[in-house]
Structure 1
Amino acid sequence: MTHSSLRTNHRCRVLLACGLGAFLVLSLLLAISWGAASIPLGRTATYLWSAVTGGAISSSDVTEYTVVAEIRTPRAVMAAVVGAGLSALGIAAQAMVRNPLADPFILGISSGASVGASAVVSWGILSSFGVYALSAAAFVGALIASVLVYALSRSSGGIAPVRLILTGVVLSFGFQALMSAIVFFDAKGDAARTVMFWMLGSLGGASWAQLPLAGAVTLGVIAYLWYRAPDLDVLSMGDGSSASLGVDPEALRRRLFLLTVIGTATLVSVAGTIGFVGLVIPHLTRIVLGPAHRPATVLAPLFGAVFMVWVDLLSRFAVPPRELPLGVMTALIGVPVFVLLIRRRGYVFGGAR
């Protein structure tokens, strides 16, 4: 590829990133403005400006201001953060195990989190955490599952990608069975619906208090992947090629494992299990940009953020006054789009069509 072609590709990627960033801002404004009681964009922007600057509002606008500033804005921003984070973690998981079917939940993290969540609903554990009991228990459950997967998949030769995947899948079934047993024997009898809705993903409980941690973790994941993008390109060639090119595949895989565990556990604890995003968005990004990891680590989070904001918005409008779980919407929208794109000739992952 000539130097001129490289410059053109770089310029196109920069323009695409700027375009996605602008569309993300517009999407956030629309998500904050639209709802059961829609608020005009002009007034929405005014309320947001007052919230940022501490400006005064009239007493007649207090209700609308509260809806915009305290309910819809943290939810819309959390949707963008979760979408960006899951997309970046999908890149990390697929690079770690060199498997196109990998996603952030391949390590059994979501199943472990579901056990913690069901324990809160059925047994009331960690009740001292108040409204954060569900998130805290899900986070702890996810970490326990990850430790078990790591311990059982590690051998004297390090972490083999195939063993890691198989261990994660097998333990996922075990944790799902344990969660089902907890819900089945629940004395109150209403745990199944609550746990199922949480497992399919929801941002109904998003708040400003949850955003700093989720946002910091997501930014940290993206920054690390961007910094190590050349090493991820080398790792995709195989362990032998990586070692010959000066990259320690075992050490890098351990770091990616830790990154995936912390990032996924954090996002699952605040939003539940939102499938499909971490699997599909990285592939859609590669279809558009090619296999290089550095542009993917910038644009995949933007794609994921935009996608998640619109998915959350549609979940609120699909069957009013009820709200569809996010996992249902991601599948309904993403599956047909992904099938159409994946059938395009020329898409390659890891050298296999």
Structure 2
Amino acid sequence: MRNIDIKQTIIIIELLLILIVSMAGALTFGSISLSVGDIGRAVADTFASGVPIEAPGQGALHDIVWLLRMPRILLAACIGAGLAACGVIMQAIVKNPLADPYILGISSGASLGATAAIMLDVGVALGENFVGIAAFAGAFAISLAVIFIANMGGRANAVKLLLAGMALSAVCGAFSSFIIYFAEDKEGIQSITYWLMGSMAGAKWETLAVMIPLTILAVIFFYTQCRMLNLMLLGDETAVTLGVDLHRYRQGYLLVGALIVGFAVYAAGMIGFVGLIVPHVSRMLVGADHRKLLPVAVLSGAIFLVWADVLCRVVIPQTELPIGILISMIGAPCFIYLMVKRTYGFGAG
């Protein structure tokens, strides 16, 4: 056991160092290449002057580092960590290794909220971020609806949650298509399409002030629930014999997961596959025990999305590729490879 703990600690420390180096290195990439010396000078000048880092007009170097690249790198790390954590949780809730944060209809709810905001001006009074706010509201509302429907006719279980999510996802997709079909707004359709592709370009320090604490608190909360998450993999019958009723835990985890996904959608649009692929790879590294799996998945997700965002900025010169497209291009082949390479269940590794 002690050797296993030492191995786990070493893996986490290595991933943490890789994340720090990745975030620092990501600052140098973009349409304007910066050297390590440029980054160091920008940081030193900002702290020496005492000017708030978010203050504009402090020079081109300051603005590139502190207003453009640093916020999006931090946002990418936050969203990557949050989606990976939610992927682990959703896979435990529904006992399905193919689950991801969007499988319970959350993505379709967000899409419907964004569609209604863009095409029908729903929530326009909320300010310039009304599309993201509407998407978050849609995601969270669908999560509540999934729980409500799954509890109809008896207590919710993994299968009922999955079926309720699939049904509501289809309903939301139908309503989104209905709105788009009758709106006849070409500019609105283009806006929806771009938003659904996902992007870190809208990252702001004000958004990070919410995202960073939320992600950290959610990950800490889920880590304290590792015993219950492990029990979920054994099934409700086994849990009952141990004196544990998983019903309320499953619903609580779903709501917390929806909160993270909703804010991720609010901040960066739709980004798929992170919550599906990262838990798979992490489970191969450290096994299915959530005490080991969760921190490795969180750090791996952050690293993955930081470098995915870098690729989006540099793969096509003078153009930014939407991150959702890149993630899908990477994620789908990787997922097929994992399925062909190794068939395993939650007890693998």
TM-score range normalised by the length of the shorter chain: over 0.9
How far 1:212 moved relative to its partner? 1.9
- The equivalent of 1:30 in structure 2 is 25
Q: Is the 8 A contact 1:20 1:303 kept in 2?
A: yes
Q: Is the 8 A contact 1:234 1:245 kept in 2?
A: no
Q: Is the 8 A contact 2:147 2:251 kept in 1?
A: no
Q: Secondary structure at the match of 1:37?
A: coil
Amino acid at match of 1:42: G
Q: Is the 8 A contact 2:29 2:314 kept in 1?
A: no
| Paired residues for 1:102-113 under 5 Å | 102-113=99-110
1:214 aligns with 2:208: no
| Paired residues for 1:157-172 under 5 Å | 157-172=154-169
1:337 aligns with 2:344: no
Runs of at least 5 residues in structure 2 that lack an aligned partner in the other structure: none
How far 1:227 moved relative to its partner? 0.6
Kindly tell me the number of residue pairs found equivalent between the two proteins. 346
Amino acid at match of 2:94: V
Q: C-alpha offsets along residues 112-135 of structure 1, whole Å, 9 cap, x if unaligned?
A: 111111222222232233221111
Q: Is the 8 A contact 1:112 1:144 kept in 2?
A: yes
Q: Secondary structure at the match of 2:264?
A: helix
Q: Secondary structure at the match of 2:186?
A: coil
Match for residue 80 of structure 1 among 77, 80, 91: 77
How far 1:186 moved relative to its partner? 3.0
- The equivalent of 1:348 in structure 2 is 344
Alignment partners' CA distance in 2, 1:213 and 1:350: 33
Q: Secondary structure at the match of 2:329?
A: helix
Alignment partners' CA distance in 2, 1:17 and 1:136: 34
- The equivalent of 1:265 in structure 2 is 262
Q: C-alpha offsets along residues 23-62 of structure 1, whole Å, 9 cap, x if unaligned?
A: 11111122222100111122113323444565479xx971
- The equivalent of 1:3 in structure 2 is none
Alignment partners' CA distance in 2, 1:279 and 1:53: 43
Structure 1 pair 216/296, CA: closer, same or farther in 2 (3 Å)?
same
Q: Is the 8 A contact 2:112 2:135 kept in 1?
A: yes
Amino acid at match of 1:46: R
| Paired residues for 1:1-353 under 5 Å | 6-51=1-46, 54-55=49-50, 62-345=59-342, 348-350=344-346
Q: Is the 8 A contact 1:87 1:279 kept in 2?
A: yes
Alignment partners' CA distance in 2, 1:19 and 1:34: 23
Alignment partners' CA distance in 2, 1:192 and 1:351: 44
Q: Is the 8 A contact 2:232 2:246 kept in 1?
A: yes
How far 1:285 moved relative to its partner? 0.6
Q: Secondary structure at the match of 1:131?
A: coil
Q: Is the 8 A contact 1:84 1:218 kept in 2?
A: yes
Of stretches 20-29 and 123-132 in structure 1, the one that deviates more from structure 2 is: 123-132
Alignment partners' CA distance in 2, 1:255 and 1:52: 42
Q: Secondary structure at the match of 1:159?
A: coil
Structure 1 pair 186/232, CA: closer, same or farther in 2 (3 Å)?
same
Alignment partners' CA distance in 2, 1:131 and 1:74: 18
Amino acid at match of 2:31: A
Amino acid at match of 2:128: V
Amino acid at match of 1:190: E
Structure-2-length-normalised TM-score: 0.92
Structure 1 pair 85/53, CA: closer, same or farther in 2 (3 Å)?
farther
Structure 1 pair 301/163, CA: closer, same or farther in 2 (3 Å)?
same
Runs of at least 5 residues in structure 1 that lack an aligned partner in the other structure: 1-5
Of stretches 202-211 and 240-249 in structure 1, the one that deviates more from structure 2 is: 240-249
| Same amino acid, percent of matched pairs | 34
